[in-house]
Amino acid sequence: MNASVLPLNNTTPLCYSINRPPFNYNHTIASAHFSAVFGALGLISNLIAFVVLLKSFQQTHSRSRSFFLIFLGGLVVTDFMGLLVTGSIVVSFHVTRFNWREIDPNCHFCNFMGMSMVFYGLCPLLLSASMALERFIGINHPFAHSTSMPKRRTISMVLMVWFIAGCIALLPLTGLGSYHIQMPGSWCFFNISSKGNDLVFSLLFSLVGLSSITMSFLLNTVSVVTLIKVCCGQDSNQRRRDYEVEMMVQLILIMVIGSASWCPLLVFIAQTVLSGANVKVEYLLLWIRLATWNQILDPWVYILFRRAVLKRIYPRFNWSRGSIMTLYPSLSDTIRRYTRSSIGTMASDETG
């Protein structure tokens, strides 16, 4: 790493013990322009999404949709605050080029930013898994969902996600892992290392993120299959499924964006610590920047993929039937025949 050589003594704070500022590192991806553009775009996107969600929440009369909107609201607030906190520090460094050792001799500021990076990184993944669980229960067990899921419990689940992510972010302050300043000197993150407690915390961060993505994928897959059977089965006209389809489309897109944004970084961390190799700064900066896209793209899922917008884009869609499969009649007939044959086979087996 291209840092200036400073004498390391017993009074060197922990966050400067590995990478010691000032740094001599110039790269396009670490420039002030990238940070400013990414931060501004993300903040504006989340503000627009928050207004859209607030209007949708005031107009909705569906309990399941109101639960889902509460989760989306928590996700928007988390993404907005994450960009605001971390982006302000990064842009301020690029503009002023302040000396970390002078303004933060005891590592309090660096620890705060490291905690923010971990907290606001894990929250979207954990919230996505919680939303997948809520939709799984709402689609597969609608009666139990409507009787046992008041709005206060949904809010409590969002607060619980924030609490879990906060506890994980505090672990390096207790000795499990450690926060260090990272190149080019504009941000702090936990030490990605294969030694001691740093190895444990690196694997914990990576496994929690990957487990959340895996859980979202499995639950969403089951929910989509169930929703298709309901839309195309015998009870397709018994109740409207517009909002269920809309929520599942949004949730799947959130899962895809989160997976594409975070999997490279999570896999990179796990692979680095398990192989015992040194951290490659270029790749770390690249995957961190890619993970930032999650907070920028998520809001546009709520802004664009709504029934009101889709009606304007595709006005020929027969929204009155409440089934997305009206766009594909042949596929609808195929799934309907498959569903009925499956039900008939199960009934004959039970009779036998």
DSSP 317-331: S-GGGT-GGGG-HHH
pLDDT (tens digit per residue) in 124-160: 999 999 989 888 887 777 655 554 556 778 888 899 9
Query: Residue 244: inside a domain, yes or no?
Result: yes
Q: How far is CA 351 from CA 229, 342, 344, 346, in A?
A: 23, 14, 11, 9
Query: Residue 342: inside a domain, yes or no?
Result: no
Q: Which residue has the higher pLDDT, 239 or 196?
A: 196
Query: Residue 212: inside a domain, yes or no?
Result: yes
pLDDT (tens digit per residue) in 195-207: 889 999 999 999 9
User: Three-class SS of residue 202?
Assistant: helix
- Reported as half-sphere exposure (CB side, CA atoms, 13 A), residue 84 has a value of 11
pTM exceeds 0.75, yes or no: yes
| CATH of residue 309 | 1.20.1070.10
Query: Residue 104: inside a domain, yes or no?
Result: yes
Residue 3's pLDDT band, with cuts at 50, 70 and 90, is: very low
Query: Residue 171: inside a domain, yes or no?
Result: yes
Q: For the chain, give the mean pLDDT.
A: 78
- Which class for 86: exposed (0-12), middle (13-18), buried (19 or more C-beta within 10 A)? buried
Q: For the chain, what is the domain count? A: 1
Query: Residue 334: inside a domain, yes or no?
Result: no
Query: Residue 176: inside a domain, yes or no?
Result: yes
> Domain span at residue 72?
31-142+149-315
Query: Residue 309: inside a domain, yes or no?
Result: yes
Distance CA 4, CA 108 (A): 22
Residue 314's pLDDT band, with cuts at 50, 70 and 90, is: low
